[in-house]
Amino acid sequence: MEEREREERLREAATIGDMEAVRTLLSAGARLNSQNPMNGWTCLHWACKRNHRHLVSYLLSEGADKDILTKNGERAEQLTSKAEIRRMLGGENETFGDTNQEPMLPFVPNYLANPPIPNGQIDGNPKTSSQPEMCMAPVVSSVPCGTPGTCMPAMPQTLFQQQNRPHLGPTFQPLFFTGAFPINMQELVLKVRIQDLTVQDADFIEVELDRRQLTYGALLGVCCRELDVEPEQVQRIRKLPNTHLRKDKEVARLQDFQELELVLHKMDTNTNSAPRALTERPCYNYKAAGLTY
């Protein structure tokens, strides 16, 4: 680890009050009185600003310079709001303005913009332990840590409770993700057509069915209206490739863009046959057809 990075980690550890990380970084060679090049703050300034009394005492015992000034001319004792810490630094019990106000920095350090998780630790140097540490995981997960000393963050309690909270509203059809497109929460989109064995490429049309009325009758009515057929002509509704729909529960299990087919009753041979040729009609006059003008 480079010296500059080690010193920045030292100030970061002092900010969150991680005593163990501070000791590790100091033993690794980090300079105790190193200042941030932008604002001139040392680890003692940050420890005083965050009111970490034990850490301030430790830094002073290690030889931290309490007279170093920041870019704004502030000493460490001016940044704390605790009278006890101010006495440790040799200051008086007076209050130096609004000590709770955040300093006007030209930038926001990463460890302030993204604070560590609770019980987190700044990793100074990789530690070797005799026993691997097991991570704290939610009840629903039993996955151990990938490497010793590193833990996956536990699921927040509020999120865990929301996922396991029973649904109190009316029970509708479950929604499934069928692709990258958003799901319509109010309408079920289906693809329907009329069965026609004589046509090789029969196109589907899309119809919308209200999710609050997922019944067989509602499905039949929408399909007949969109395809311009009478309900009496429909023999059955087929869910492709080979499922016969009969009940409301089966309709409620349909998913978006399911392909359906209306199977119609076979019409009477006379009414379903093609129109007869002109010469086969009883009104055809053969003599008139042979006249020439």
Q: What is the pLDDT of residue 121?
A: 55
pLDDT of residue 165: 53
**CATH class of the domain defined by 187-264:** alpha beta
The CATH class given to the 1-89 domain equals mainly alpha
How far apart are alpha carbons 61 and 80 in whole angstroms? Answer: 18
What are the extents of the domains in the chain? 1-89, 187-264
Pairing of strands 258-264, 187-194: parallel
Instruction: Report residue 191: phi and psi, to 5°.
Output: -115, 120
Q: What is the pLDDT of residues 56-98, one digit of tens each?
A: 999 999 999 989 999 999 999 999 999 999 998 887 655 544 4
Supply the pLDDT for residue 2.
Answer: 82
Q: What is the pLDDT along the chain (293 residues), one digit of tens a residue?
A: 688 888 899 999 999 989 999 999 999 888 999 999 899 999 999 999 999 999 999 999 999 998 999 999 999 999 999 999 999 888 765 554 444 445 555 556 666 666 665 555 555 554 444 444 444 544 444 444 444 444 454 554 544 455 555 545 444 555 554 444 445 678 899 999 988 766 666 789 999 989 888 899 999 999 999 888 898 889 899 999 889 999 899 999 998 999 999 889 886 545 444 555 555 555 556 566 666 65
Residues 152 and 145: beta-carbon distance below 8 Å: yes
Residue 200: the pLDDT is 60
* Residues contacting 216, CB < 8 A, separation 6+: 237, 245, 246, 247, 248, 250, 251
Predicted pLDDT at 133: 46
Nearest to 207 by CA among 191, 195, 193: 191
In 3D space, the residue among 258, 191, 272 whose CA is nearest the CA of residue 227 turns out to be 191
DSSP 160-200: HHHHHSPP-S---PPP---SSSPPPSSEEEEEEEE--TT-S
Radius of gyration of the chain (CA): 40
pLDDT of residue 181: 43
